[in-house]
Structure 1
Amino acid sequence: MELLRSRAELEAWRRSRAGGPLHFVPTMGALHPGHQSLVHAAGSDPASSVLVSVFVNPLQFGPQEDFERYPRCLDADLTCAAQAGAQALFAPSVAELYPEGEQELTRLMPAESLQQVLCGRRRPGHFNGVATVVARLLGLVRPDALFLGEKDWQQLVILRRLVEDLGLPVQVVGCPTLREPDGLAMSSRNRYLSSEGRQRATALPLHLRQAAEACLQRREINLGPLCQDLASQLEQAGLVVDYVEAVCPQSLQPRRQLTGLTLLAAAVHCGPSRLIDHTFLMSRAPIVAIDGPAGAGKSTVTRAFAERLALIYLDTGAMYRAVTWLVQHSGVDAREAAQVAPLLENLDLQLSTAAGGSQRVSVNGHDVTEAIRSPEVTAQVSVVAAHGCVREALTRQQQAMGQRGGLVAEGRDIGTAVFPDAELKIFLTATVSERARRRALDLAQRGFEVPEMADLEAQIAERDHLDSTREVAPLTQAEDAIEVITDGLSIEAVIEQLVQLFRQRVPHDAWPGG
C-alpha cells in the first residue's frame, strides 16, 4: 500500500492505476474495525482500487472542541488500512490541502433545513466544514464511489444532498454501523473513555434499542413523550444528554407521530467524550412498491431484488392472472362483472415458494403457475383486472399480506392503491418496442407461437391504453415514485440501481437484509 502525502503524489498514483473503478473512504484517522468495514465494502468489486484518506479537518471543529487532542496515529492507520485491503492512503497536511489558508478558502454551506437539527444545532458551522473538505477531496480524488458510515447519519444525508445538488459524478454508498460487543457504536472518540465511563456509555445503545423494540407493531405513537423518556433514562444512567430527537430520515425534519420509517437519534457526553448514536423506529418492516406497464421486466427484477434484500416477493400480477385463468376455466364472460363476482366469494388463491426459489401459484387447489402465462390469459387479464370487484378483493388480500411489511410487491397500482405508504416506490418501464422484443423471447422460451413484432407492439400498446384508462385503479405513476427505464440495461444493472435507491431510504441499520 502506498502512502501519499501531497496532491502531486495523489495525482501520480491516480495516473498509475491499472484502471477499474476508484472507490474512496474519507476518514479523520484513528482507524478501527468500523473504518475497515468501509474499506471492505469499497473493495468488494475486485476490479476496483480503494483509496483511504486521513485528515483531521480543522474546519469542522468548534473553539471548545477536541481538535488539538484528536487522536493522530498515522503508522497504526497505515497498518489498519492495508489489512482491510486499501491500495493507497492519502494523508495531506493542512497546508497541503488548503494551500491558500483557511481564511481564503471557498466554503460550502449545506441547506439550513439539514443543519438546524441534531448535531448541527449544537455545533454551528460543523457541517459547513464537513461539506467543504469532502468537496475538496472529491475534486482531488475524483472517485467513482464514496463510501460513508451510517453511524454519522446526518453527515451522510448532507453529503448525499451535496453530491446531488452540485451534480457531482460520484455514487454515495452508505454502510452499516459496526458495534463493539457491548453494543457501543465504534468511534475514534471511544478511546477517550475510562473503563467506568465505558460501562456508563453502553446505556446509550441499550435504551435506543429498547425504544425501537417498543415501537414494533404499534401504529399510533406520540414521539414527544418517547424522546423525553429516553432522555430521562440516559440521564439516570449518568450521561449528560445533548439531545434526543425523532426526525424524518431523509429531510431530517422533526416528527411528532410515528409515520413510516423514523430516525431516533441521541448525543450524550460521557466524561471527555461526546457520543452519538441512533436507531430507526418502524411500526412494520419496509415495503417496496414496483409499478409499471406490462413487459417491463417487473416480475424478473422484483423476484431477484427481493431475494437480494431478504424481502418477501409478492407477485400481484400473478394474482390477477390467476383470477383471469379461473374466469376462463369457469366459462363465464370476462367482460361481465356480475358473472365474475361470484367466483371471488370463496376464492382460495395461494402464492408459495418452490424448493428452487421459484414462485408457485394455485387457485382453489389447482396449480396454475404455467397456465397463467399463456397468451389466452395475457389477452384477457386487463379486462378482468378492470372490474372493481376484482380489484377490491385482491387489494384487500394484498394489504392483509403487507400488514407486517417486509415485502416487495409489483403490479400496476401497487404504489398508488395498494401500498401508498411504501418506503420506496418504483415505476419500472421500457419502450413498447423493447417490451415487444422481450415478450417474443418469453413466448419462444415457453413454446408458444410468436406473433409478428408489429402485432406484439400493437397488443402491448393496446394493453397500456386499457390499463391506464380503466375506471378503477388505473395504471399511473405515483407522485413520489422514481421512474427507472430499463432499455439497454441488464437485469443485474436494474437490480443494482434498485438496491441503491432502497438504501437511500431504508439504511442497513434499519433493515440489514440479505
Structure 2
Amino acid sequence: MHLLLTCHDLAAWRQRQEAPIHFVPTMGALHQGHEALIHAAARPVAGREPVVLVSVFVNPLQFGPQEDFGRYPRNLDADAGVAAAAGAAALFAPEAAELYPAGEAGLTRVQPPSSLRRSLCAPLRPGHFEGVATVVVRLLALIRPERLLLGEKDWQQLVILRRVVRDLGLPVQVQGCATVREADGLACSSRNRYLSADQRTQAGALPRALKIASSQSGLPGGAITGGLRQRLEAAGLEVEYAELVMAHSLEPVDRVAGLCLLASAVRCGPGRLIDHTFLMSRSPIVAIDGPAGAGKSTVTRAFARRLGLIYLDTGAMYRAVTWWVQHLGADPALPEAVAAALAGLDLQISAAAEGAQQVCINGHDVTEAIRSPEVTAQVSAVAAHGCVRDALTAQQQAMGSRGGLVAEGRDIGTAVFPDADLKVFLTATVAERARRRAQDLEARGFAVPSQPVLEAEIAERDHRDATRAVAPLRMADDAVELVTDGMAIEAVIQALVDLFRDRVPHDAWPDPDPQP
C-alpha cells in the first residue's frame, strides 16, 4: 500500500491510476466500520475493478472549541496496517498545512443548506458540518474519485454531503454503507475507546432503546421520542436529543409517514455517542416507467433480485389480458367486447426460475405466448380501455399495499404508485429500441422485420401510448430519466441500485443475504 503524505505525492499517484478510484475519507482510529467501508469500496462496480484510496486527516474545522480535537486518537502506523489489510491501495495522510496552505483564515469554505442544519447534531455543533463539507470538497477536488463511500451511522453527514455534491455538480457517486455494530449492538465509533468497561455496558442502552422504538411506528411522534428519551435517561445516559425527522429533508415530523429517522445523541462519561433507527410506514416501492422496448423487464428483474424486492411486471398483465381478448375472438377496439372478456378474470403472476415470472390467465400459462408479435401489436389498444386499466390498477395496488416491490410498466409512477420511493423513467432512442426488439424476436424464433419497419412500429406505439385518453404515457414530475443507449445491462442495473440507495439506506432495507 502506498503512503501519501503530501498533495504532490497524491497527484503523482493519481496520475498513474487507470482504474476508477473509490475513496473512503476518515479521521483515523480505524475500526470495523472503516474496514467495512474499505471492503465495499474494493468491490467491482458494473464489471470494473476499482482502486481504493483511504484518507486519514483529523480535520480541525469540524471541532468546536470545547470538543476533543486535542485528544482525538491518532496512530498512523496502526491505521495504515488496518487500511492495507482491508484492501486499500493507498493511504493519504496529509498535515493541515497541505490541505489548507493559506490557513483557516484564508480558506474558502463550503456552507451546506441551512434547512439540513436545523435538527439533530447541527444546532449543538455550530460550524461542524461546514467544516466537514469544506474538507470533503477539498479532498474530492484533489483525488477526483468515481465513488465516495460514507457510513450511514453518521446519517446527517451523509445527507448533507450528498446535497453538497449534487448542488455543486461534482462528478462523484456518493455511496452509503450500512452501520456496523459491535457485539453488544453499539455502533462502531472511534470515540468508543474513550469509554471504560462500565461505561460501555451503560452505552449499550442506546441501541437497545432504539430497537424497542423501531417497532412503534404506529404511535404519535411525541410518544416515540418521549419513550426513547425515558429509556435512555433510565439507563443513566445524558440525552442531548431524541428526534423523529424525515429521513432526507431532516425536517421534524409528528408521525411516521414514508421513511423517517429516529435519532439520538447521548453523553456517556467522556464520550458523545450518536445512533439511529429508521421507521417506515410501509416497505419501499420502486416504479419503473418508460416506453415499449426500453429493456425494463430485463433490468427490473435483476434489480429486484439484487435488492430483495418482489418483481411485478405490469406489462405482462396487460399482455395477458390482450392474449385473452384475442383467444376469445373479441374485437380489441370495442370497449364493450373487452369489458365482457374481463368478467370472471383470473390473472395470476407467480415467481419462476431466475427471478422471472409465470403468467397464467383463466388456467392458461401464457408466459411465452404474450411476447408474440400478435399480442404486441394489440396490447396498446387493449390497455387504452378504461375498464382494463381500472381492473389491473386496482389489482396492482393491492399487490403493492405492503410495499417491498419493484413494478415496471408504462404508468406505474403516475397512476399506479404515485407515492413510490423511487420513480425511474427508463428509456432509449427509437433506433436502439428497434435494434433490441429485433434481437428479442430472433431469440424467440419469430420473423424479424426490417429496422425501418420496427422503428416505425415503435414510434407509432409511442404516439398511441402518449396520446391515449386513459393514463397516457408520460414521465412523472418527480421521476429520474435514465437513457440507456450504449449502456450494458449491468451498468443500467447499477445505476438503478445507486438511485435506490440514494433514497433507501441499507440500515432501513438491507441487501439480501447472498445465496449459498
TM range (shorter): over 0.9
Residue 80 of structure 1, aligned match among 79, 82, 89: 82
After superposition, give the CA deviation of every residue in 1:108-162 in whole Å (9 maximum; x if it has no partner): 1111111121111110000011011111111222222111111111111111111
Identity percentage of aligned residues = 69
Q: Give the Cα separation in 1 of the matches to 2:462 and 2:49.
A: 41
State how 1:177-256 maps to structure 2 within 5 Å: 177-215=179-217, 218=218, 221-256=219-254
Q: Give the Cα separation in 2 of the matches to 1:181 and 1:343.
A: 59
- Which residues of structure 2 form unaligned runs of 5+? none
State how 1:97-176 maps to structure 2 within 5 Å: 97-176=99-178
Q: Which moved more, 1:328-337 or 1:477-486?
A: 328-337
1:357 aligns with 2:359: no
User: Do 1:290 and 1:415's aligned partners in 2 also have CA atoms closer than 8 Å?
Assistant: yes
**SS of the counterpart of 1:229?**
helix
User: Do 1:60 and 1:130's aligned partners in 2 also have CA atoms closer than 8 Å?
Assistant: yes
- Counterpart of 1:278? 276
- Counterpart of 2:341? 343
Letter in 2 for 1:134: V
How far is the alpha carbon of 1:225 from its aligned partner?
A: 2.4
State how 1:278-317 maps to structure 2 within 5 Å: 278-317=276-315
User: Do 2:242 and 2:263's aligned partners in 1 also have CA atoms closer than 8 Å?
Assistant: yes
Letter in 2 for 1:230: L
- Counterpart of 2:479? 481
State how 1:55-70 maps to structure 2 within 5 Å: 55-70=57-72
- Counterpart of 1:389? 387
Letter in 2 for 1:62: G
How far is the alpha carbon of 1:104 from its aligned partner?
A: 1.7
**SS of the counterpart of 1:434?**
helix
User: Do 1:311 and 1:513's aligned partners in 2 also have CA atoms closer than 8 Å?
Assistant: no
For the aligned residue pairs, the C-alpha RMSD in angstroms reads 1.4
After superposition, give the CA deviation of every residue in 1:364-385 in whole Å (9 maximum; x if it has no partner): 1110011101111111111111
After superposition, give the CA deviation of every residue in 1:45-87 in whole Å (9 maximum; x if it has no partner): 3732211111111110011111111111112111111110111
Residue 326 of structure 2, aligned match among 320, 325, 328: 328
- Counterpart of 1:14? 14
- Which residues of structure 1 form unaligned runs of 5+? none
Aligned pair in 2 of structure 1 residues 48, 355: CA closer, same or farther (>3 Å)?
Answer: closer
- Counterpart of 1:4? 4
Letter in 2 for 1:170: V
- Counterpart of 1:264? 262
Letter in 1 for 2:181: R
User: Do 2:165 and 2:172's aligned partners in 1 also have CA atoms closer than 8 Å?
Assistant: yes
How far is the alpha carbon of 1:340 from its aligned partner?
A: 1.9
**SS of the counterpart of 1:213?**
coil
Residue 467 of structure 2, aligned match among 466, 469, 477: 469
User: Do 1:468 and 1:475's aligned partners in 2 also have CA atoms closer than 8 Å?
Assistant: yes
User: Do 1:212 and 1:282's aligned partners in 2 also have CA atoms closer than 8 Å?
Assistant: no
- Counterpart of 1:451? 449
**SS of the counterpart of 1:408?**
strand
After superposition, give the CA deviation of every residue in 1:427-465 in whole Å (9 maximum; x if it has no partner): 111111211111111111111112222222221122112
Q: Give the Cα separation in 2 of the matches to 1:35 and 1:123.
A: 23
1:503 aligns with 2:505: no
Q: Give the Cα separation in 2 of the matches to 1:442 and 1:259.
A: 42
**SS of the counterpart of 1:281?**
strand
Residue 49 of structure 2, aligned match among 24, 29, 47: 47
Q: Which moved more, 1:70-79 or 1:319-328?
A: 70-79
Q: Give the Cα separation in 2 of the matches to 1:200 and 1:97.
A: 39
After superposition, give the CA deviation of every residue in 1:90-111 in whole Å (9 maximum; x if it has no partner): 1112223222222221211111
What is the TM-score when the length of structure 1 is the normalising length?
0.96
Q: Which moved more, 1:234-243 or 1:364-373?
A: 234-243
How far is the alpha carbon of 1:265 from its aligned partner?
A: 1.3
User: Do 2:302 and 2:355's aligned partners in 1 also have CA atoms closer than 8 Å?
Assistant: no
How far is the alpha carbon of 1:356 from its aligned partner?
A: 4.1
Letter in 1 for 2:25: P
Q: Give the Cα separation in 2 of the matches to 1:60 and 1:231.
A: 27
**SS of the counterpart of 1:442?**
helix
Aligned pair in 2 of structure 1 residues 477, 391: CA closer, same or farther (>3 Å)?
Answer: same
Q: Give the Cα separation in 2 of the matches to 1:47 and 1:384.
A: 46
After superposition, give the CA deviation of every residue in 1:253-275 in whole Å (9 maximum; x if it has no partner): 22222221111111111111111
User: Do 2:30 and 2:79's aligned partners in 1 also have CA atoms closer than 8 Å?
Assistant: yes
How far is the alpha carbon of 1:403 from its aligned partner?
A: 1.4
Letter in 2 for 1:2: H
User: Do 2:37 and 2:177's aligned partners in 1 also have CA atoms closer than 8 Å?
Assistant: yes
Q: Give the Cα separation in 2 of the matches to 1:93 and 1:356.
A: 52
**SS of the counterpart of 1:110?**
coil
How far is the alpha carbon of 1:467 from its aligned partner?
A: 1.2
Q: Give the Cα separation in 2 of the matches to 1:137 and 1:454.
A: 50
How far is the alpha carbon of 1:12 from its aligned partner?
A: 2.3
Q: Give the Cα separation in 1 of the matches to 2:138 and 2:355.
A: 47
What is the TM-score when the length of structure 2 is the normalising length?
0.96
User: Do 2:152 and 2:177's aligned partners in 1 also have CA atoms closer than 8 Å?
Assistant: yes
- Counterpart of 2:420? 422
How far is the alpha carbon of 1:196 from its aligned partner?
A: 1.6
Q: Which moved more, 1:44-53 or 1:184-193?
A: 44-53
Q: Which moved more, 1:300-309 or 1:101-110?
A: 101-110
Q: Give the Cα separation in 2 of the matches to 1:48 and 1:383.
A: 48
Q: Which moved more, 1:384-393 or 1:91-100?
A: 91-100
- Counterpart of 1:25? 24
1:399 aligns with 2:397: yes
User: Do 2:301 and 2:355's aligned partners in 1 also have CA atoms closer than 8 Å?
Assistant: no
How far is the alpha carbon of 1:349 from its aligned partner?
A: 1.0
How far is the alpha carbon of 1:344 from its aligned partner?
A: 2.3
